[in-house]
Structure 1
């Protein structure tokens, strides 16, 4: 029997109800009582607003529940702070807008052991609020994640939400997440690109399900297309960071072609108000992101921008 060797890290920013849902989903994980060492909540709010929620829920936790404060808002900063709070050799990330199925962590561990991968990812069911109309199916796909029907090695990584990482190989150094991505996101893209360059392997755990609940301000076509644009920037930005200018050029050519093809494909669907237009526009936005990857074009979704939105909402 292995000693407890897994920590689950949850970064959070002023989502008390959502955070509670995420934590309670971890408290009822099955078949991991001998593996789960601790749960780490990293509060990215300068006001430390999640402390009371964590203190209230701590008696219900089956393992040590750690609260850490990362007062400078930023997604990479929060992830690094979570890593600093634990020395567990395996790190699972769950976002504060996600809820894990009871067998989630066991499935991630089984997937990692079966594949030997340095980073293992699981599927996500996208959940959106009522009232999203014709965009509902698209938004559920957008906030969801699909992969192979069976657990196996895969060629490309996904994002950190719903992932298990081997610390020694996938998370080098004391602060492996690049804090330059604090406001825009994409910190996991850079991390996994570096892992791939070192010969790291990626795996898929087909039964490691989580639900992701999109809040109303994100469950819109405008937000999703802006996020799709940012996702499209990833390959070009990764190549630029490596100063691989031929690759940057190649991605920009691909992006130009994608923008043109998918915009033309969307036009007739826009005219007849076909719901499939959202998917076409999504692909066009990702192509456009490959073209406009430069500094100054990066949308900001996290950190100071999100905190400012929350302050306006409170006012």
Structure 2
């Protein structure tokens, strides 16, 4: 079965487990993106099975590898075995935003009566009270979108200085309303957000750079939707050793700056606004240097101190057309 919605990516239902046994309409549908990590996907799905949430929920596992389909096959086996409830779909268009679009489209098509849509990545483990905490926060606050922290769990026992670097830290700490969320690895939203923003939900221009989720959250804010942060709704992300290197962390800092520029440039509506963006980038080079010196005085770590300066450099290089597509390689995906 293939479903194509206007202006959206095509997804194929690899396995539909909804008819395997009778169940109530789920309160929330959890989208799980996966790409060539079937073993960790199984760990992620088992962490969802272990949730202390007593109301019905379902999973949409979206495999972004149409040739291998290892994730879809693993999800199908777990659904057949009764370990999780839900469906497995395959999104043929490569890239993080395209995978999100396929997952969200499947959630709305296959569970049209469900009011909440959540997301977690296949390299994360949801703490046992994650779903209960994040749904309760949404119901308590009335916010349209609610995010929780993604806490790193480093494969390298000597992660050391990298553990304190800003790229591994949550953007928010305290509970309460926020301007917008930053990442899609741990959040829930009212399905009405998707219906209002329309498809494609995430802009595929960010497929290989990353940042499509940030652009989505900012568009949701501009459309009048509210956001909330719940620190108790925690997920743990496995950080491979390949990401605790100088090269990777520096590239991530540069990418943050490039993403911010791309989002601002995309939404500029006039030559005056575009000129302001150019001037802002130049000013941030000076501000970044000041912030770097301040951080060096407190952290005594050159890599941590360099983060704001590298972000500013990333903005300027993106303006020059040099955009760091860290995820162009089909074996990698933003997280």
- Which TM-score band (shorter chain)? 0.7 to 0.9
Q: TM-score, normalised by structure 1?
A: 0.85
| Alignment partner, residue 120 of structure 1 | 146
| Alignment partner, residue 173 of structure 1 | 198
Q: Answer whether contact 2:45 2:84 (CA < 8 A) is retained.
A: no
- How far apart in 1 are the matches of 2:38 and 2:300? 34
| Alignment partner, residue 59 of structure 2 | 39
Report the alpha carbon displacement of residue 56 of structure 1 after superposing the two structures with TM: 2.6
CA distance change for structure 1 residues 81 and 197 in 2, over 3 Å: closer, same or farther?
A: same
Long gaps (5+) in structure 2: 1-23, 109-113
Count of aligned pairs between the two proteins: 299
Query: 1:14 aligned to 36, 49, 56, which one?
Result: 36
Query: 2:121 aligned to 79, 95, 110, which one?
Result: 95
- How far apart in 2 are the matches of 1:11 and 1:295? 32
- How far apart in 2 are the matches of 1:145 and 1:127? 13
| Alignment partner, residue 257 of structure 1 | 286
Long gaps (5+) in structure 1: 310-315
- How far apart in 1 are the matches of 2:300 and 2:194? 40
| Alignment partner, residue 69 of structure 1 | 90
CA distance change for structure 1 residues 288 and 258 in 2, over 3 Å: closer, same or farther?
A: farther
Q: Which range moved further: 228-237 or 174-183?
A: 228-237
Report the alpha carbon displacement of residue 296 of structure 1 after superposing the two structures with TM: 3.3
Q: Answer whether contact 1:92 1:165 (CA < 8 A) is retained.
A: yes
Report the alpha carbon displacement of residue 308 of structure 1 after superposing the two structures with TM: 7.8
Summarize deviations over 1:232-256 as a string: whole Å, max 9, x none.
2233222211223254135313421
| Alignment partner, residue 253 of structure 2 | 228
- How far apart in 2 are the matches of 1:98 and 1:220? 20
Query: 1:80 aligned to 101, 118, 130, which one?
Result: 101
Provide the aligned C-alpha RMSD in A: 2.6
Q: TM-score, normalised by structure 2?
A: 0.80
Query: 2:161 aligned to 113, 131, 135, which one?
Result: 135
| Alignment partner, residue 162 of structure 1 | 186
CA distance change for structure 1 residues 30 and 146 in 2, over 3 Å: closer, same or farther?
A: farther
Q: Answer whether contact 1:126 1:213 (CA < 8 A) is retained.
A: yes
| Alignment partner, residue 291 of structure 1 | 316
Q: Tell me, what secondary structure is at the counterpart of 2:321?
A: coil
